[in-house]
Amino acid sequence: MRIRRIAWDGRTCILPAGLYQQAFRRMFQSLDEIGTQRRADADPPRADEVGIPDYLRRHYWWAYIHPRGVKFFDRRWIVNLILLGNYHRLRDRALAEFGRAASGSILQLACVYGDLTAQLEKRVAAGSGRLDVVDVVPIQLSNLRNKLPLGTRARMLRMDAADLGLPDASYDRAMLFFLLHELPASHRARTLSEAFRVVKPGGKIMIVDFARPHWWNPLFYLCRPLLASLEPFALDLWRDDIVSLLPPSWKSAKFRRETSFGGFFQKVVVTR
């Protein structure tokens, strides 16, 4: 049995890797009980109460919905640890697609832990561009707002990436940074279709996410059970190439794909 040690607010828990989600639930509840402000939604609320998709509440409440999870995971060293020391490299490769002065209109689908959005916002300000960030979880938007400077050019919009209430062909570029691996197949297909719809002809959609590592990469064997436990949809990106997952409307688009870290990560740039 593989054993993991997790430190939380000065406390240490030792647990089997397959019990991560249960352990986080117990930690949050015990912390509430010993003196933190108790929340009525410590257990995930119903989707029809807050408009959060069921898959997100069911599988990712501990990382993106619970306030303690947001506070814990939105630390650069934590994000870098999750990405096996590659966060800054992957962030910079994503930002390189926008240049040091990003003009035009840019759409970011889903808030991102770390400083990716803050760095992108600086480039947008330097290029007198426009940045919109979409997320369906209110606490994610408020958390991002606190990380951006006063007078930011970024707008934060609460909506589901799979059902954007945005006009057709209204953005020059769109970015999906480690979003697709968290979406079930149907939601992923709708999100990709929506991204294609709102980007102008000739515009670009940039995707950074996990990929199937090469057979000789130790991560091929080590990370499969971990992803299967914590990221129930991530292995879809191992079984199928991102390009093969794109909806039929993308067939006329041009693709540029590159991988890194022994194939474990990929960046796909789509020109509509």
Q: Where are the domains of the chain?
A: 3-73, 84-271
- pLDDT band of residue 40 (cuts 50, 70, 90) is very low
Q: Does domain 84-271 have CATH number 3.40.50.150?
A: yes
C-alpha neighbours within 13 Å on the C-beta side of residue 47: 10
CA distance 187 to 203: 23
- Any idea which of 4-18, 20-34, 190-204, 224-238 has the lowest mean pLDDT? 4-18
The values of phi and psi at residue 133, to 5°, are -120, 125
Tens of pLDDT, residue by residue over 82-111, are 999 999 999 999 999 999 999 999 999 999
Query: Which of 180, 201, 209 lies closest to 192, judged by CA?
Result: 180
Q: Is the pLDDT of residue 6 over 50?
A: no
Does 23 have pLDDT greater than 60? no
Q: What angle do CA 239, 240, 241 make, to 5 degrees?
A: 135
Rg (Cα) of the chain, in Å, rounded?
A: 19
Quote the pTM value.
Answer: 0.81
pLDDT tens track for 159-214: 999 999 999 999 999 999 999 999 999 999 999 999 999 999 999 999 999 999 99
pLDDT surpasses 60 at 41? no
Assess whether pLDDT exceeds 90 at residue 222.
no
